[in-house]
Amino acid sequence: MRIVIAGGHGKIALILSRQLADRGDEVLGLIRNPDHEADLRAAGAEPVVFDLEQGTADELATIVRGADAVVFAAGAGPGSGAARKDTVDRGGAVLLADAAEAAAVRRYVMVSSMGAAKGGAGIEDEVFAAYQEAKKAADEDLMARDLSWTIIRPGGLTDDPGTGLVTMAPETGRGSIPREDVARVVCAVLDDPATDGVVTEVISGDERIAVALAELTD
Q: Which uninterrupted H or E stretch holds 204?
A: strand 199-204
What is the pairing mode between strands 107-111 and 148-154?
parallel
What's the distance, Cα to Cα, between the start and end of the chain in Å?
25
Active site residue 131: yes
Q: Which uninterrupted H or E stretch holds 215?
A: helix 209-217
Candidate list 50, 108, 131, 149, residue with the active-site label = 131
Residue 139 corresponds to which amino acid? D
C-beta atoms surrounding 127 within 10 Å: 18
Helices (H), the chain: 11-22, 37-42, 57-64, 82-84, 91-102, 126-143, 179-191, 209-217
Q: Which uninterrupted H or E stretch holds 133?
A: helix 126-143
C-beta atoms surrounding 72 within 10 Å: 29
Radius of gyration of the chain (CA): 16
- Enumerate the active-site residues: 131
